[in-house]
Structure 1
């Protein structure tokens, strides 16, 4: 057994470039896993700088220097974020509080409907079982309890210190990353082994794919969120802005997100209209939006993305989401594509032997 493992190690890690790639990937993963909280502003700034590099590069092509281009792009980006935050967040917050406040009323209406069906079909669910489920549900949906949880979450996630760090430090980091990109890259190469051709090959393969994925995902979130909000507003559905935002962000989790967000939409529609034509129209329109997203929008936006089987995508969402939370879910597909690119680029024993034979032949010719 030991000999088998030794031979496998020699075959797979005999190339110094492969060892370098492993150390680079392992170092990045360990740094993010163990120091992700401390490095969060730096990581956020790196991601934003990576996304904003494209408009900066376009300005460089028309003769604008990098410092001016970085300043203009950053100012426009901050302005757009402020408009979205000041215009959207208050409305979503109010609708979220209203939804939590209305949950007991919705529960009573649902209880009456469920009681009617239990009386009609007692062989499936007994009244005692229904009472037990309702008692547990009331504990979970207690208004004051939910409001207390919301205040705690708000207190942890929006403390003054965190807001100051992200509002001041992140824009500064993004600006310097954009302005001094070449100098920073040149300086960072001193900490990476010189034998890094395989790592460079993997990066070049993933660079454009990651950018296309993030850009496409942001566009998909905006389109699906806006279209869903407009549809909910036209239907005069309650909490239209909140549910539209949830629908937009549901595309972050492939296959699973649409299923999860369907439940609150269906429940709110049912409590508002009951089993009526309006309920049917809303669910039909929502289904059309999801169908157009999966069959038209996604192929258009991600035509250049790496083809991954749904099983690997779901596994990536579960693994990276469990490791890094929301960011892991958002970057699950790029990370899965990175794993695939590393596997494809990894030197095999055949390629090593072929390379050795080519070297021998060239030596003989010389």
Structure 2
């Protein structure tokens, strides 16, 4: 019948053997001889047999599938992490299912439930901006599935986490601006309910304190990771009686918005105002001027998260690990003054 799937019983009938023998051969059971395995695989290919991986997953209680949940798969950072994860887990015979929360907790909960229903081996997740309760993730742990958080993490769960040192990335960025002669540094913060943005804010404050510079509340603004929002906020900043002479942004996209507005309004970068972003998105190196930014090491983070996951799912390490990767500030034209010393008349 057209569209009918070949079963192991049909393979067994063609080879005059039992379905259990065929099943063991297809699963590379050591009790089955190599000669029999070759015959079974050859007949399976001839008949167009496709294994029912979902049924096998239900029998085993888990599969060779890993669920990945990210806020957006089309952001360069998250796509780099996904690539790192996938390259690493494929070496161990795993495949991935990718879900997007679109920064919504309801979507994240639905994604977790769908992946658990699919009997995944576990989940690697970066939390949505709205996530502040964790019952859906506690359920993953309760079902004895491996759970690894990356980038956006929480201390509320007893599980492994992989992130970069956001505090150090921010501290290095602001210190770099100060060392290049900037003294009035504005901060584009993300949502401080999210762990990474809290840490970047801490780093910003610490750098100002350590260099004996004041914290100016008007210079601290929560800005979504968005070019147009970056423009709007920069316009407000530059209308202040005392204008900032530098901007450290928690996002390359809002830094891009700031850059575009400043250039359109005849500000010189970096002479009049310096800019440092966060993420090291590819566009930062192709703008004029090029934009300094903190490299989040997405692919390395993905590979590390995958390694931590595999250690736990395969029983090689039952201890939960907290891995902090070292950030790297990529210094470009936007934050290095071409002429720091100016004559004041």
TM-score under structure 2 length normalisation: 0.24
More strand by share: 2
More helix by share: 1
Higher relative contact order (CA 8 A, sep 6+): 1
